[in-house]
């Protein structure tokens, strides 16, 4: 697991937890992150879907917090 995937200080966190193989989960944490991702979508660099297992992400965050 990526050590900073659940980083609360990042504008956007990226990883593969909660998505099927070949896809990346993005967690947008603030307005700067939203602007960055929105711009990437507008430029056609990325596409978005809501097909994410949020419970898997929550489990990973809880595991990481337990390691601290």
List, for residues 42-59, the tens digit of each pLDDT value. 999 999 998 999 999 889
Q: Per residue in 4-40, pLDDT tens?
A: 455 778 899 888 899 999 999 998 999 999 999 999 9
Q: What is the DSSP letter of 11?
A: S
Cα angle at 8 between 64 and 58, to 5 degrees? 45
Q: Which residues does 19 contact at the CB level (< 8 Å), separation at least 6?
A: 25, 51, 52, 53
Q: How many residues does the chain have?
A: 68
């Amino acid at each position: 697991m990526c050590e900073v995937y659940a980083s609360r200080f990042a504008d956007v966190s990226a990883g593969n937890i909660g998505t099927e193989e070949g896809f990346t989960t993005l967690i947008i944490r603030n307005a700067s992150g939203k602007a960055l991702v929105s711009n990437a979508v507008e430029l056609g660099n990325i596409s978005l879907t809501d097909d994410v297992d949020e419970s898997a992400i929550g489990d990973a965050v809880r595991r990481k917090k337990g390691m601290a």
